[in-house]
Amino acid sequence: MGKRGSQQAIGRGATLALNCTMCHGAQGMSTSDAPNLAGQYPEVIIKQLKDYQSGKRASPIMVALAKGLSDADIADLAAYYAYLPKARTAPTTYDEALPALVRVGAPLRNIAPCVSCHGGIDQKFGAPWLEGMPKGYLAAQIKAFRSGERGNDSEAQMRNVARAMTDQEIDEVSLFYARKAGVPSE
């Protein structure tokens, strides 16, 4: 394995990513409800693939694909996807036009602002950027955290936030992030 982000690692990652194009798109931009991976933080790609390998995250397709990857393969895939141009045009910044949960959260219900972990004000190490993700994917993941079906979040942070969210709030937040980069919402 070469230096993370090296041209060799990116090239190997691009070759490995040929197995990912059906769901995640030829350049890491999904045309379905799979997540966009172009420009994603490398530590996010690494964590998710390792979580699929270990069983912390479930998906029959992703578990099968991840099981065959070495640590070097995972690092190279992460380098490749991080190298690709991001789906977002600019990070989410704090302004009054943001949906309330994105901007300030709901402190009385123990909901932190989305931007406190997912960019804008701060990017929490290991938290994915969300701008431009497919709305259906985001809504499904928040609902999976809410139900406990998905539990690979550190210290149950997303499960605790999502449990307090209504369906309407999930829809509003998902739509906001899907539209953030001009990606169609449905």
Convert the pLDDT of each residue in 74-115 to its tens digit.
999 999 999 998 755 555 566 667 889 998 999 999 999 998
- Note the pTM of the prediction, 2 decimals: 0.86
Question: What does the alpha-carbon distance between residue 104 and residue 122 come to, in Å, rounded to a whole number?
Answer: 13
The percentage of residues in the chain with a pLDDT greater than 70, rounded to a whole number, is: 86
Would you say 133 and 177 are in contact if contact means Cβ atoms under 8 Å apart? yes
**Tokens describing residue 175:** 């739509």
Indicate the average pLDDT of the chain: 88
Question: What does the alpha-carbon distance between residue 174 and residue 127 come to, in Å, rounded to a whole number?
Answer: 16
Region class of 30: left (phi > 0), else alpha (psi between -120 and 50), else beta? beta
Residues 24-27: contacts with CB within 8 Å, 24+ apart? 27/84, 27/85
